[in-house]
Amino acid sequence: MNALTMPVPDLSAYRADFPILSETVRGKALVFLDSAASAQKPNQVIDAMTHAMRHQYANVHRGLHWMSERTSDAYEGVRDKVAALLNASSRDEIVFTGSSTNAINLVAHSYGSLLRPGQAVLVSEMEHHANIVPWQMLRDRSGIALRVAKVTDAGEIDLDSLRAELADGKVGLVSVTHMSNVLGTITPAAEIAAIAHAAGAKVMFDGSQAAVHQPVDVQALDADFYVFTGHKLYGPTGIGVLWARRAILEAMPPFLGGGDMIGSVSFERSLWAEVPHKFEAGTPAIIETIGLGAAIDYVSAIGLDAIRAHESDLTGYALERLQAIEGLTVMGHARARGGVISFSIAGAHAHDIATLLDQNGIAVRAGAHCAEPLMKRFGLTSTARASFALYTTRTEIDVLAETLDRVRSFLV
Amino acid sequence: MSETAENLYRALVVERARRPLHAGEVEAADGAADGSNPLCGDRVHVTLRRGDDSRLAEIRHATRGCAICIASADLMAESATGLDDAGLSALWHRFEALLRDGEAGLGREDGAALGLLNAFADLHEYRSRRKCATLPWSALLAAAGTGEGS
Ligand SMILES: Cc1ncc(COP(=O)(O)O)c(C=O)c1O
């Protein structure tokens, strides 16, 4: 069933799994609308991590002893869970990294070293800095050009502009977001992949936001690379994922060198381990990876389809409530969007809005959201942003809308 | 709004943010400088004129920013007018102390010297917003050439 036909599920019972949601802030019940920056954690994740530290922990892949073997099994088991989450064709295509940022930097260094001067990497105007700066660094170090596809006024990637940038066949890699952390826009990834491939380019999707709000199938998208970060998927910080096609990973040189990523080492030369271990130098984030596994089990049990349907209902409701507020403008109006809404209020600065909301226990983000070029594209310096998660309720959106109305009459 | 909101956004602050009294630019200025905060895009342009006694005779600001930033620029312009460089420096240090420690950290003399600037007494509880109030000051100190500010 897809989000359009699925009845809106009632996820309210899951709130009880998130202990932090019963905290108070400045004497008010916490209304947490900043999950796009980082999501809160359910007991299942917290417990899995503390269980590992209390009962089953040792370094992985190394010790010939009971604890190490069990911990290695738990750690490697998460690779299977991630492979299932993304519908990867093999567990060996899953590389654990520290975050989306680390994953993109890995690709920029390693795959970037296979590109030749004269070739280019193509991003879009709506990228997070994490999908801009590594490519600028690649450009400055090795002369690979950086091109930018335009974003329309509606806040969608301009596919004509994307095609135009690809037309000369010099783009080796298209790297774009699967969902904007500012506009909420869900990009047409399968279509973008087809366009990129037709021009001879590989394609990478930044799934930091998308993987949290909807099911992702890297094979159906026909992607070449896909990255996401654990802490936005209700998991811990310090763990992220790079998925890439096996043949690509095999062709790529290692990124970091050290233990765990080698077959054998001598001072003359070392042989690399097989993929994915070739890209996992040093002791990995064992406990965080186990936490990510618990987070994947958790969202899978609820169902990402159900989470999408819930958030899509909330987003529609929030757009309706917020747009009824005098002077409030929502940034972008893409046809396909997830639970992220950036807005401004005429005559009120985003920071004042955020501070006044905070005094009422409501957490939103304010600023440029690590996407300065996109803000500039829309002629803005900062906006406030409310973002939703599986635990967000309509009541919280009511509180936001009512408080924003008071904030406006106070400031303007 | 709530009681705490009224502490931070006192009537004087909201009033000056809406209708600053010292906005604009001094013609034939003796000093000018900009302050900007790349994190939020806020920007302050300060111009000043000195009198024959070299005291600050007129200060104006062109501010694009939040309410705290605009009100701070405006109340700064008002409070610093008439001061010599030593007086400006002393006022800045008192204001800095107010933002760091609140009223509790000040002596009675400091409180009196701060005058209108006491409107920002509760800002010390909002660390992430302090920069909004100090931004105009760094521009003024640079425009006055005192070699202070940040
Ligand atoms: C779209 C997007 N890309 C990349 C990132 C970077 O994620 P991380 O900081 O976990 O590496 C974020 C989150 O901040 C994001 O929203």
Average pLDDT over residues B107-132: 90
Whether A130 is in the pocket of ligand 1, judged by its Cβ within 6 Å, is yes
> Could you tell me how far CA A110 lies from the centroid of its own chain?
21
Could you please state the CATH topology (level 3) that the domain comprising A46-300 is classified under: Aspartate Aminotransferase; domain 2 (3.40.640)
The protein residue whose alpha carbon is closest to atom 16 in ligand 1 is: A181
Does residue B52 carry a pLDDT above 70? yes
In chain B, whose CA is at the least distance from the CA of A371? B39
**Do residue A352 and residue B68 have CB atoms under 8 angstroms apart?**
yes
How would residue A12 be classed by pLDDT, with cut points 50, 70 and 90?
very high
Whether A123 is in the pocket of ligand 1, judged by its Cβ within 6 Å, is no
Query: What per-residue confidence (pLDDT) applies to A382?
Result: 87
Strand ranges in A115-224 using DSSP code E only, listed in sequence order: 120-124, 145-149, 171-177, 202-206
Residue B75 Cα to ligand 1 middle (Å)? 39
DSSP classification of residue A114: G
The protein residue whose alpha carbon is closest to atom 7 in ligand 1 is: A100
Query: What per-residue confidence (pLDDT) applies to B1?
Result: 65
Whether A354 is in the pocket of ligand 1, judged by its Cβ within 6 Å, is no
Residue A180 Cα to ligand 1 middle (Å)? 10
Q: What are the tens digits of pLDDT across the range B23-40?
A: 999 999 999 999 998 777
Domain spans in chain A, listed from the N-terminal domain onward: 12-32+304-411, 46-300
Distance CA(A102)–CA(B74), nearest Å, equals 44
The answer to whether B140 touches B33, Cβ cutoff 8 Å, is yes
Q: CA A401, A403, A407, A410 torsion: positive or negative?
A: positive
Residue A23 Cα to ligand 1 middle (Å)? 26
**End-to-end CA distance of chain B, in Å?**
33
Identity of residue A382: S
Identity of residue A394: R
Q: Which of residues 314-373 of A touch B (CB under 8 A)?
A: 348-352, 355-356, 359-360, 366-368
Give the residue from A183, A206, A192 showing the smallest Cα distance to A335.
A183
ipTM of the complex: 0.85
Q: What are the tens digits of pLDDT across the range A53-99?
A: 999 999 998 778 999 999 999 999 999 999 999 999 999 999 999 99
Query: What per-residue confidence (pLDDT) applies to A385?
Result: 97
Contact residues, chain B, for A346 at CB < 8 Å: none
Residue A38 Cα to ligand 1 middle (Å)? 9
* Pick among A28, A31, A355 to test the B interface (most B CBs inside 10 A): A355
Whether A360 is in the pocket of ligand 1, judged by its Cβ within 6 Å, is no
B100 Cα to chain A: minimum distance (Å)? 18
Average pLDDT over residues A99-122: 97
- Facing residue for A382 by CB, picked from B1, B41, B129: B41
Of A172-181, B1-10, B32-41, B131-140, where does mean pLDDT reach its minimum?
A: B1-10
Does residue A268 carry a pLDDT above 90? no
Distances (CA, A) of B79 to B19, B64, B74, B88, B146: 17, 20, 9, 9, 17
A363 Cα to chain B: minimum distance (Å)? 14
The answer to whether B68 touches B123, Cβ cutoff 8 Å, is yes
Query: What per-residue confidence (pLDDT) applies to B47?
Result: 98
CA atoms within 13 A on the CB side of B123: 27
Contact residues, chain A, for B40 at CB < 8 Å: 350-351, 366-368, 381-382
Strand ranges in A100-239 using DSSP code E only, listed in sequence order: 120-124, 145-149, 171-177, 202-206, 225-229
Strand ranges in chain B using DSSP code E only, listed in sequence order: 31-37, 42-50, 56-64
Whether A181 is in the pocket of ligand 1, judged by its Cβ within 6 Å, is yes
Q: Best substitution site from A102, A181, A231, A374 to test ligand 1's pocket, by max atoms within 8 Å of Cβ? A: A181
Whether A209 is in the pocket of ligand 1, judged by its Cβ within 6 Å, is yes
How would residue A260 be classed by pLDDT, with cut points 50, 70 and 90?
confident
Structure tokens at A31: 């209304």
In chain A, whose CA is at the least distance from the CA of B17? A411
Residue-averaged pLDDT of chain A: 95
- Facing residue for A349 by CB, picked from B1, B8, B65: B65
Distance CA(A121)–CA(A148), nearest Å, equals 9
Q: Residues in chain B whose beta carbon is closer than 8 A to a beta carbon of chain A? A: 1-2, 4-5, 8-9, 14, 17-18, 39-42, 64-69, 126, 129, 132
How would residue A367 be classed by pLDDT, with cut points 50, 70 and 90?
confident
Task: Render the burial of A186-223: b for 16+ CB within 10 Å, e for the rest.
Answer: bbbbeebbebbeebebbbbbbbbbbbbbbbbebeebeb
In chain B, whose CA is at the least distance from the CA of A375? B41
DSSP classification of residue A277: G
Distance CA(A205)–CA(A191), nearest Å, equals 12
Query: What per-residue confidence (pLDDT) applies to B2?
Result: 61
Architecture, CATH, for domain A12-32+304-411: Alpha-Beta Complex (3.90)
Contact residues, chain A, for B68 at CB < 8 Å: 351-352
Query: What per-residue confidence (pLDDT) applies to A1?
Result: 44
Does residue B7 carry a pLDDT above 80? no
Contact residues, chain B, for A368 at CB < 8 Å: 39-41
Residue A233 Cα to ligand 1 middle (Å)? 11
Residue A231 Cα to ligand 1 middle (Å)? 10
Query: What per-residue confidence (pLDDT) applies to A65?
Result: 92
Strand ranges in A38-192 using DSSP code E only, listed in sequence order: 94-97, 120-124, 145-149, 171-177
Domains and CATH numbers, chain B: 3-144 (3.90.1010.10)
Contact residues, chain A, for B5 at CB < 8 Å: 356, 359, 410
* Pick among B18, B44, B63, B66 to test the A interface (most A CBs inside 10 A): B66
How would residue A369 be classed by pLDDT, with cut points 50, 70 and 90?
confident
Q: Enumerate the active-site residues of A.
A: 370
Average pLDDT over residues B90-107: 92
The answer to whether B44 touches B69, Cβ cutoff 8 Å, is yes
